Structure 1
Amino acid sequence: MPSKIVIECSKTIAAKGCNIAFAESATAGRMSAEFSMTKESGKILRGGIVCYDGCVKETLLHVPKSIIEKYTPESLEVTQILAQQASKLFYSKITVAITGLTTPGGSENKEKPLGTIFFYIITPTKEFGHREIFKGSPEKIVLQAIDKTAELVMESLIG
């Protein structure tokens, strides 16, 4: 069952006459699944793409390999391009891209520890990136990231 904030976010998106699409790396489809279980899903959810591996980011969403190599697959720069490309694919009014480190072994380092998540959100009135560090198991990190996405989308729609 979706969290309270995901349900509230879905209601807000529907009330604004918007729709939403996702480009998911770190959350691997879980965000789309959570939003699909809300009452408003048929009105708001355009779809989502799981782009967990770098080759999918490159081939399907046209993130230049040079950008991935320069900034790493888990970075705000890559996440921004994912959002922009997904927005074109889905013709969505709201597009969310998410990358990050939910398990050990990615591009983690002292400045970007395990639990670091990058968000890039495009709405009808603005585009913005966000970085946050979450704690817990991979599932807890993913669920916190989904709730944070809902919070960020609502803030951008309500003002």
Structure 2
Amino acid sequence: MGLYPADIEAQAASIIATYRKRGWMITTAESCTGGLISGALTEIAGSSSVVDRGFVTYTNQAKMDLIGVSANTVETFGAVSKETALQMAHGALMRSDAQVAVAVTGIAGPGGGSAEKPVGLVHLALATRHGTVDHREMRYGDPGRDEVRLATIRTALDMLLKVAQTPA
């Protein structure tokens, strides 16, 4: 058994195989998951032919410095927002050799939530060099920090697999 639950490892293995066949690479930009999506992908042997790089941008400053999220976006919409997630995905894509970027920003808990942005709120975004853009706003509730992060990994991997299975 690996570091991740069996379903996540199976999902990651499917992504690695699918992307390898397409000749595509992946980059990640992660906040609330702290690199766990990249970790799930790199758990699979041979993933170096698919995973280009990962950005862990936990602070707002890191989001701005490393992947070009604008200060105005963070100030206007907040770090946990559709707008920030989309800028994270596009910024990671532009700062990598990948064809696909997935980005996540959210509130894993146990604290940090508000009425407007509760614990368990996660924004995920995906961008491709082919012009595909996807966004999902997930409200996982408050099942605990680990469960929110695992649910976020599952959703991000689902987004990565779906875009690779779409005919070009």
**The two structures share one fold, judged by TM-score above 0.5:** yes
Aligned to 2:157: 150
Give unmatched runs, 5+ long, in structure 1.
none
Looking at structure 2, the residues matched to 5 and 111 of structure 1 have their Cα atoms a distance apart, in angstroms, of 32
1:92-132 C-alpha deviation (Å, 9 max, x unpaired): 101011100101443x3334321111111013441111111
Looking at structure 2, the residues matched to 33 and 24 of structure 1 have their Cα atoms a distance apart, in angstroms, of 11
Aligned to 2:115: 110
Query: Which of 31, 38, 42 does residue 44 from structure 2 map onto?
Result: 38
How do residues 8-157 of structure 1 correspond to structure 2 at under 5 angstroms? 8-106=14-112, 108-125=113-130, 126-135=132-141, 136-157=143-164
Checking the alignment, whether the CA contact within 8 Å between 1:20 and 1:47 is kept in structure 2 is: yes
1:40 is displaced (CA, Å) by 3.4
1:141 is displaced (CA, Å) by 1.0
Checking the alignment, whether the CA contact within 8 Å between 1:10 and 1:38 is kept in structure 2 is: yes
Looking at structure 2, the residues matched to 141 and 90 of structure 1 have their Cα atoms a distance apart, in angstroms, of 27
The letter of the residue matching 1:117 is V
State, as a whole percentage, how many aligned pairs show the same letter.
Answer: 22
1:33-91 C-alpha deviation (Å, 9 max, x unpaired): 11111123121010101100011112222222121011010111011111111111112
Secondary structure at 1:117 match in 2: strand
| Structure 1 residue ranges (4+ consecutive) displaced by more than 6 angstroms after TM superposition | none
1:154 is displaced (CA, Å) by 1.3
Looking at structure 1, the residues matched to 61 and 110 of structure 2 have their Cα atoms a distance apart, in angstroms, of 20
Looking at structure 2, the residues matched to 40 and 14 of structure 1 have their Cα atoms a distance apart, in angstroms, of 9
Looking at structure 1, the residues matched to 87 and 50 of structure 2 have their Cα atoms a distance apart, in angstroms, of 22
Q: TM-score, normalised by structure 2?
A: 0.87
Checking the alignment, whether the CA contact within 8 Å between 2:27 and 2:54 is kept in structure 1 is: yes
Q: TM-score, normalised by structure 1?
A: 0.91
Secondary structure at 1:90 match in 2: coil
Looking at structure 2, the residues matched to 81 and 51 of structure 1 have their Cα atoms a distance apart, in angstroms, of 12
1:32 is displaced (CA, Å) by 0.8
Structure 1 stretch displaced more, 117-126 or 92-101: 117-126
